[in-house]
Structure 1
Amino acid sequence: MESIKKQIPNIITLLNLFSGCIALVFATKSNFELAFYFVCLGIFFDFFDGFFARMFKVSSPLGLQLDSLADMVTSGVVPGFVMFSMLLKSQSEITSCPAFAYLGFVVTLGSCYRLANFNIDTRQTDSFIGLPTPANTLFILSLPLVLQYSDSLIVLEALSNQWVLLAIVLGSAYILNAEIPLFSLKLKKFTVKDNLLQIGFLIVSFLLIFFFQFLGISLLILFYVLLSVINNKIIKKQ
């Protein structure tokens, strides 16, 4: 029974990897909506593998490595391929250069570096340094859905422009590894006073997604980074 308990977090981690593989298949078929949902499922498993490891007190070096390897697919390869696909579709006949689209995988490289660095960075136990890969993945995976469902001409033109997409790729790789402290949604104490930042963020998150759907997810990640920067400045002043 004890040996089965030790494997439960690892099984959940492998479900994260399996979800990422399915998402990648749908992404290759340009079914970005199902790819998005399977990535969300993978991120769900990614949260609960650590939860059960702590609950059963069975955290292990093997689990840590499995977690990063699974995340490398779900939150590394999948968003990189999505950006590759968007860059490929954004090229006009005049500026057509298929090799240019491969720059989308800079997202994958940035994710890989962050995941490796996260495993050896002892500062990221209660908060994050740089944008977590799951948050970055949700941002990237929401973009083709915004392009598909948005009625805003400005948004559509922006996300169809290869230079805007390239800026997103480079900005994504940077923010993943930037020395910017970002708050965690983990509740340290079960009091409203000690979790005002997290509660406020969750309320705004709900409103953004409710009113803007997929665009709300993109705005939500940007809001998360901005709110963290503002919070850092307030803390420094105090």
Structure 2
Amino acid sequence: MSSIKKHVPNLITLLNLFSGCIALVFATQSNFEFAFYFVCLGIFFDFFDGFFARLFKVSSPLGLQLDSLADMVTSGVVPGYVMFAMLSNSQHEISSCPFVPYLGFIVTLGSCYRLANFNIDTRQTDSFIGLPTPANALFILSLPLVLQYSDSLIVLEALTNQWLLFTIVLGSAYILNAEIPLFSLKLKKFTVKDNLLQILFLVVSFLLVFFFHFLGISLLILFYVLLSVVNNKLIKN
């Protein structure tokens, strides 16, 4: 039985990778909604592989490497391709150079660097420094859906502007690796006082998604970073 248990987390990690591969196929077919759903499924598996590794006490260096490799596809390659696709279909071009859309893969490069650094950074056991790749993937995967379902001319104009999209690409690569502490959503103690920050974030996240749908997902990732920055300032003071 113990020999079976040690393979369960790695199997779940591979399901994350499998979900990412399917999401990539949908993204190449411009089916960004299903790409988004399969990235969400991959992130779901990404959460539970670590959960079962701790539950069964079978954490291993192999599992750590598998986790990063799976995340590289689901939360690295897929959002990079989505930015490539959005830049390819954008207006107000940076230049006439046909290679500009490939700059969307800077997101993939930034994700790769973060995942490699995360494995050797002992400071990120209970919280994060820089935006986790799954959160960044959700932010980027939500953008084409905001574009698809929004009736706002301002939103449509913004998300088809190549200059703005390239700014998002650079901002994404930066925030993934920035030395900015971000609070963890893990509940360490079951009291409201000790989890006030997490509760506030979850309530606001629910309201944002409920009222703004896919745009709410983009906004909650931005809110997560902003709330962390404010919390850091309060702690220092």
Same fold judged by TM-score > 0.5?
yes
User: What's the CA shift for 1:94?
Assistant: 9.8
Residue type at the aligned position of 1:145: L
Aligned to 1:64: 64
Cα RMSD after superposing both structures:
1.1
2:12 maps to 1:12:
yes
Aligned to 1:186: 186
User: What's the CA shift for 1:20?
Assistant: 0.1
Aligned to 2:51: 51
2:159 maps to 1:159:
yes
Aligned to 2:25: 25
The secondary structure found in structure 2 opposite 1:3 is helix
User: What's the CA shift for 1:98?
Assistant: 2.2
The answer to whether the 8 Å contact 1:147/1:159 transfers is: yes
The answer to whether the 8 Å contact 1:91/1:97 transfers is: no
Where does 1:194-233 land on structure 2 (aligned, <5 Å)?
194-233=194-233
Give the total of aligned pairs: 237
Q: Mark the runs of 5 or more structure 1 residues left unpaired by the alignment.
A: none
User: What's the CA shift for 1:190?
Assistant: 1.1
The answer to whether the 8 Å contact 2:83/2:169 transfers is: yes
* 1:2–1:200 distance in 2 versus 1, CA, 3 Å: same
Where does 1:28-177 land on structure 2 (aligned, <5 Å)?
28-91=28-91, 95-177=95-177
Q: Mark the runs of 5 or more structure 2 residues left unpaired by the alignment.
A: none
User: What's the CA shift for 1:97?
Assistant: 2.9
Distance in 2 (CA, whole Å) between partners of 1:98 and 1:215 is 29
Distance in 2 (CA, whole Å) between partners of 1:111 and 1:92 is 27
Residue type at the aligned position of 1:20: G
User: What's the CA shift for 1:151?
Assistant: 1.4
Residue type at the aligned position of 2:9: P
The secondary structure found in structure 2 opposite 1:98 is coil
Distance in 1 (CA, whole Å) between partners of 2:141 and 2:154 is 19
Distance in 2 (CA, whole Å) between partners of 1:136 and 1:60 is 26
The secondary structure found in structure 1 opposite 2:89 is helix
The answer to whether the 8 Å contact 2:94/2:162 transfers is: no
Deviations 1:177-199 (A, max 9, x none): 00000001011111111000001
User: What's the CA shift for 1:95?
Assistant: 4.7
Residue type at the aligned position of 1:16: N
Residue type at the aligned position of 1:85: A
Q: Percent identity?
A: 88
TM-score by length of 1: 0.98
User: What's the CA shift for 1:15?
Assistant: 0.1
* 1:93–1:228 distance in 2 versus 1, CA, 3 Å: closer
Distance in 2 (CA, whole Å) between partners of 1:215 and 1:94 is 25
The answer to whether the 8 Å contact 1:182/1:228 transfers is: yes
